[in-house]
Structure 1
Amino acid sequence: MRILLTGGTGFIGSELVKQLMTHDIVLLTRNVTKARQILNHASQAHLTYIDSLDRLSDLNHIDAVINLAGEPIAGKRWSKRQKQKICDSRWNITRKITELIYASTEPPSVFISGSAVGYYGDQQEHPFDESLHVCHEEFTHHVCARWEELAMRAQSEDTRVCILRTGVVLGLNGGALKMMLPAYKFGAGAVLGSGRQYMPWIHIQDMVRGISYLLNTEHASGYFNLTAPHPVQNREFSRILAKNLKRPYLPFTPRWALALLMGEASSLLFDSIRAKPKHLTDLGFHFNYSRLEPAIKNLLHHYK
């Protein structure tokens, strides 16, 4: 299979490349030299690099597209400029891919495109799956709803579209866990606010396995929560992480302090999203890590 991959040098994408090494990958990157360095773990014989989609007039030579590109949504305050950067980095590339699929006489059979559980917004303590339809004014919903709409335009009899509503991906090479570990290692980890908010987490191995499963399951299409079957409250997450590091942790962090520090982006910490991966499990996908503690134990086993 010949796969066009965007976001292949990111946290999830670089792990996915390992999973897809039996295929030929065309990797979109702004910096080919840097991409080669980041992906030096992969067989370069199976990798081709392009620096712009403008070099392509169609996708007739591509069997599948996996679109993971996007400016990181966490880590910076959401200024007006940063919000636009977050939106443009997702929307523009997705729009261009859809246009290339339209322009193809033999289009890719599948288009797998990123999104996030931020689509749902704060759902408090209520469990839900992909059948939940929401419409609200939060920025995360605004980003994801438009992102998904642009990708779904590619859906046709020839091309199935799978939307990845991704949760908090746990791994050592990026994402939330990498940012949290130094504080927890030194006993300064903390419950965020009341800690009652649900965290829809997923182990990085299950994340890339889930994408590969959708790639190879010919009847899979629509929306998929890429989250483990058992989301946990933040206070439980903090307890398990501190316990397995054999460190103490702070039982409470004032919400107002984090809101002052992060501004509107603090919603990423406090929105309660008890998402279930019903669509994925109904297809027959089996999670290697459905419970948090075994996932944390596995990751910390490799942590130095």
Structure 2
Amino acid sequence: MKIVIAGGSGFVGQKLTEVLLQAGHEVVVLSRCAKNGAIQWLTEGTTPEKMLGKVDAFINLAGVSINDGRWSTEHQKQIYDSRMTATDELLRIISALPHKPAVLVNASAIGIYPASESIIYTEASTAIADDFLGRTVNHWEQKAASVTAEGVRSVCMRFGVILGKGGGALPPMILPYKLFAGGKVGSGRQWLSWVHVEDVARAIAFAIENDNLQDPVNTTAPFPKQMDDFGKTIGSVMHRPHWFPVPSFIMKIALGKKSALVLEGQHVLPEKLLANGFVFNFPHLEQALQDILKDNV
């Protein structure tokens, strides 16, 4: 298939491009800079639809990272606006194409679900968090899903906390353990629904190829962990102690509003992926960390 990725130069996009190319697909990347074969978009006067030809699938990973910055009012606006602007432009491109793609796979996040220590969320759950991340993800999904008016299947992949080498959420999480200062963060009871970046890329490819998958799709490993157990597993894999607790107020001082990412959490299960036969390469945290951290232990 010919697959177009918006946001293909990022952490997930690079792994996804690798997975798709290995599977024999043609990959085209939309980028603000037309280099390394990418097609320029989101700059004044560009008309990427004139250069794309017939496309089988679009993947939208574009947007300012939620892992950077302190979630100031300005940064929150950048996070929100970047997602809305990129998705609007993708919808315009798809509308302008004479041959419509079969599917739009849009990035999303489990942050749409309210934080809870007791609720287990599946795709059937309808609760939406009344906070910045919940509202952002909800609006983003609604906008992406409007592509169905063009006769295009819509799949919003609700990513969990993505773990991998050289990016994502893991590097700052393992740093205290490298310094022999790792330990429980906050209460330790908050859920962390994680997923290996390789399984994220494979799940996106799976969603493209399986017509049964439609909005939304939880993209998390089937065995989430509570934060204290997550830290203990890091310590075990890295052969470091898990003993130095970090109180919630310290995280709030250090991270500001973004501290919600580590002090609150959701217990999320990938019901649709499992029901449709997707097999995770890394269903358990210990094996995922052993793969990612093998050069650090």
- TM-score, normalised to structure 1, is 0.91
Q: In 2, Cα distance between the equivalents of 1:96 and 1:75?
A: 24
1:187-211: CA deviation from partner (whole Å, max 9, x where unpaired): 1222211100000000111111111
| Structure 2 partner of 1:259 | 252
The farther-off stretch of 130-139 and 8-17 is 130-139
| Structure 1 partner of 2:221 | 228
In structure 1, runs of 5+ residues without a counterpart are: 37-47
Q: Structure 1 residues 27 and 57 mapped into 2: Cα distance closer, same or farther (>3 Å)?
A: closer
Equivalent residues in 2 for 1:208-223 (5 A)? Answer: 208-223=201-216
Conserved 8 A contact 2:112-2:133 = yes
| Structure 1 partner of 2:172 | 179
Q: In 2, Cα distance between the equivalents of 1:231 and 1:285?
A: 17
Q: Which amino acid aligns with 1:218?
A: D
CA drift at 1:60: 5.5
Q: Which amino acid aligns with 2:116?
A: Q
Q: In 2, Cα distance between the equivalents of 1:102 and 1:66?
A: 15
- SS of residue matched to 1:164: strand
The farther-off stretch of 192-201 and 171-180 is 171-180
The farther-off stretch of 83-92 and 98-107 is 98-107
Conserved 8 A contact 1:125-1:198 = no
The partner residue of 2:154 within 161, 173, 176 is 161
Equivalent residues in 2 for 1:47-66 (5 A)? Answer: 48-52=37-41, 54-57=46-49, 61-66=54-59
Q: Say whether 1:143 aligns with 2:145.
A: no
- SS of residue matched to 1:98: helix
Conserved 8 A contact 1:60-1:108 = no
Q: In 2, Cα distance between the equivalents of 1:172 and 1:31?
A: 25
Conserved 8 A contact 2:200-2:219 = yes
1:44-67: CA deviation from partner (whole Å, max 9, x where unpaired): xxxx31121531347662111000
Conserved 8 A contact 1:213-1:285 = yes
Q: Which amino acid aligns with 2:32?
A: R
Q: How many residues align?
A: 291
Q: In 1, Cα distance between the equivalents of 2:11 and 2:125?
A: 28
Q: In 2, Cα distance between the equivalents of 1:103 and 1:134?
A: 35
Conserved 8 A contact 2:110-2:218 = yes
RMSD of aligned alpha carbons: 1.7
| Structure 2 partner of 1:31 | 33
Q: In 2, Cα distance between the equivalents of 1:105 and 1:55?
A: 14
Conserved 8 A contact 2:213-2:272 = no
Percent identity reads 32
CA drift at 1:222: 1.4
| Structure 1 partner of 2:125 | 132
CA drift at 1:156: 4.5
Q: In 1, Cα distance between the equivalents of 2:25 and 2:120?
A: 37
| Structure 1 partner of 2:3 | 3
Q: Which amino acid aligns with 1:51?
A: Q
Q: Structure 1 residues 57 and 209 mapped into 2: Cα distance closer, same or farther (>3 Å)?
A: closer
Q: Structure 1 residues 156 and 282 mapped into 2: Cα distance closer, same or farther (>3 Å)?
A: farther
Q: In 1, Cα distance between the equivalents of 2:211 and 2:157?
A: 16
Q: In 2, Cα distance between the equivalents of 1:65 and 1:302?
A: 34
Conserved 8 A contact 2:100-2:150 = no
| Structure 2 partner of 1:17 | 17
- SS of residue matched to 2:38: strand
CA drift at 1:216: 1.1
